[in-house]
Amino acid sequence: MRILFVGMPDSIHTARWISQITDQGWEIYLFPTYLVGPHPMLQHITFLGTSFLRAKNHSKTVRFIHWPSLFFARNYLESQLIHTKALKYKEQALKYVMQNLRPDIIHSLELQQAGYITLGARKSLRGKFPAWIATNWGSDIYLFGRLAEHQEPIRQVLQNCDYYSCECQRDVELARKMGFQGTILPVLPNTGGIHFEQTLSFRQPGPVSQRKAIILKGYQHWAGRALVAFQAFRFCLEALEGYAILIYSASEDVKIAAQLFAQDTGLQVELVPDSTHENILSMFGKARIYIGLSISDGISTSLLEAMTLGAFPIQSCTACADEWFESGQGGFIVPPEDPQEIANAIRRALSEDVLVDRAAEINSQTIKKRLDYSVIKSEVVKMYQSIYTQRKL
């Protein structure tokens, strides 16, 4: 089987997904949507330029296509133009790769870059096109599908692809409403499964209710709303006494807000520097509460990892968390821009020990049942095998 992925090369989502199938003996190629080095988790990388057609099939090797070197990148200035210029260069490069590589399956990982590039190649290619899987990441439809400039391109992707995958049942319905009539693939997290026992090694012994840390995901941007959490903290200051607030992946305005909040209140606030995945997991394993706020998301990987490690989740209602736990039992699902309601959730999560400890048990069972790495990997392998078989009939 020959699979051509189109995706963000440095994304851990890309790396985790592809890593699930590198031991199958298939030919796996990655066409990057922009040119940076691949994520470190993508091991055994072979970099291919004009020689990509002559590359031998090496087990557990992902062939990374450096597309500017395939054609018309003869000098530095031209190469820079291709790196930064319009979508059309990428579409033509992908068309060239597909004409010569002839993959059985093309899988675009995310819509707004990978999906649009694949759509452009699809329109310019005559004749038979390989089976096309379009995967929706996070906000690709839930948010961008409501924006005028993206509505038509998304519809065209959905009308031209053969298979659609996503990580929220919510997004299945949205894809249907936007015109998708092909095959819906199993709803699975876009990062694949979790090595449950390995991840549990980062969990601090003892009841979760005895932990003294609150974790905040520090995104404040087009979707992230971490600053709302600071408004909520000010509404429940009395409940925060004795707890450390740890903030990871903080944007610049969140860093400023964190320092001012600490000075104003005297509470312990720590900005966690960019860190390894293992350090982040260790932090989740010491947290009583995990807070993630955004106006749009898929199922947050951080949320699932925090749930695995016992942290009580307070997650915005825009991230299909309701497909993983019931609000009031496994955590709280809150409006992303309502600091008073978020404060109420924080206050209850800090005062109700039984609720927090019971939620840890419920969420652990959910994760073990639905997110075991070996189970998810088996489903993914079967998915590709089924599509390959169908196309060969």
353-370 and 339-351 are packed helices; what angle lies between their axes, rounded to 10 degrees?
A: 100
Across-strand partners of 135?
A: 109, 165
Distances in whole angstroms, Cα of residue 197 to Cα of each of 22, 130, 324, 364, 389: 22, 38, 20, 11, 34
| SS3 label, residue 135 | strand
**What pLDDT does residue 77 have?**
45
HSE of 116, CA atoms in CB hemisphere, 13 A = 17
Domain ranges of the chain: 2-193+373-392, 196-370
Scored b (16 or more CB within 10 A) or e, 41-61 reads ebeebeebeeebeebeeeeeb
The confidence score (pLDDT) of residue 49 equals 66
Which CATH number, 3.30.390.10, 3.40.50.2000, 3.40.50.1010, 3.40.50.2300, labels domain 196-370? 3.40.50.2000
Degrees (nearest 5) of the Cα angle 356, 361, 366?
A: 120
CATH topology for the 2-193+373-392 domain: Rossmann fold (3.40.50)
pLDDT of residue 45: 78
Q: What is the mean pLDDT, run by run of 10 residues, along the chain of 393 residues?
A: 95 94 94 88 75 54 78 49 64 88 96 96 89 95 95 97 97 96 96 93 96 97 96 98 97 96 97 90 97 96 97 97 97 98 98 98 96 96 96 79
In what helix (H) or strand (E) does residue 387 lie, and over which residues does it extend?
Answer: helix 373-392
CA 43 to chain centre: 19
Domains 2-193+373-392 and 196-370 share a fold: yes
Nearest alpha carbon to residue 73 among 90, 56, 87 = 90
